[in-house]
Amino acid sequence: MASIVDIAVSAGSFATLVTAVKAANLVDTLGTGGPFTVFAPNDAAFAKLPPGTITTLVQNIPQLTRILCYHVAAGVYRQADLQSRPRLASLEGSDLYLNFPEDLATGFEVNNATVVAADIEADNGIIHVLDTVVLPRPHWFDGIVANS
């Protein structure tokens, strides 16, 4: 089997993610460390971000690293393992919010992203492919939504 990074490179649909991981010097960590669960936004997901977003992040590596780490959790969590968890702690420190709605025939949701391909096995973990880049929710977010 290949590593998380090898799979992302060979898939061809994670060019932006791979560039970002290289810029953040996370190739070794994600290539040999772990095991990790990686929620990997595809190129279409990065293309949804307004212009300039990636430019600023690539100019500022610690900040880029933080956003990338929000897409990674320590340990291996397959879709079946996540069904009983409403949240999963990311390496960034904030939680990822998981949702398994009935109106989705396959896959599940992570924050505002839908998992378009789940349970891609790698040597050092597992990959779930996201259609949207997810961002940590501020602490007031839950209160605002609950207040409606």
Partner 1 sequence: MTAIAPILSPSTHPLADVVHRLEAGGSMLPDTPENLMQIIGLYKAYAVPMDFYWRDLLYIGERVFLEPLPFFKYFLPQEYLDLANHYAGDTADLRVWRGRATAHPELLAFMEKGELKTKLPKLFHHLWHDRINMEFAEECMRAMLWHRNMGGQLDPYLDSEEYRQNADRAIRAYFRGNPLLLGLYQLFPELFLEQCRQATLYSCLGLFWEVMAPVFFEMSDIYDEGGFRGVPDAMNFLVNGIFAIAGRPIYHRVYIGSECYELVPKSKGFTWLYEAAFPYVEAVFYRTAPFRGTKSYNAQAGQIPAHQEDFHYGVLYADTFPVGSAGIPPTLLSQDMLHFLPPYMLEYYRQHCRGEDDMLVQLTVSFQRSMYNVTSAVIQAGRAAFLYPLDDPNPRHRQQNRAYFEGQLRRFARTDYDIDQACRINYVQKQSYR
Rounded Cα distance between 136 and 18, Å, is: 20
Q: Considering the rule CB under 8 A, would residue 19 count as an interface residue with partner 1? A: no
Distance CA 82, CA 98 (A): 8
Quick one: tokens of 102? 């009935």
* Minimum distance, C-beta of residue 135 to partner 1, in the bound complex (Å): 5
The SS3 assignment for 23 reads: helix
Distance CA 58, CA 17 (A): 11
Contact window for partner 1 (CB under 8 A) among 8-16, 27-35, 38-46, 133-141: 133-141
Site string for partner 1, 87-126 (x = CB under 8 A): ------x-------x-x-------xx--------------
**Helix or strand run (H / E) with residue 65:** helix 61-69
Show the tokens assigned to 73: 């959790």
> What residue has token string 């609950």?
146
The least distance separating partner 1 from the CB of residue 86, rounded to whole angstroms, comes to 15
Shortest CB 125 distance to partner 1, Å: 22
Q: Which amino acid is at 101?
A: P
Nearest distance in Å: CB 2, partner 1 = 29
Contact flags string 47-76 toward partner 1, x per CB under 8 A: --xxxxx-xxx-xx-xxxxxx---------
Nearer Cβ to partner 1 (24/38): 24
Residue 133 CA, distance from chain mean position: 7
Chain-centre distance for alpha carbon 24: 15
Of the pair 51, 80, the CB lying nearest partner 1 is at 51
The binding site for partner 1 (CB under 8 A) comprises 49-53, 55-57, 59-60, 62-67, 93, 101, 103, 111-112, 135-141, 143-148
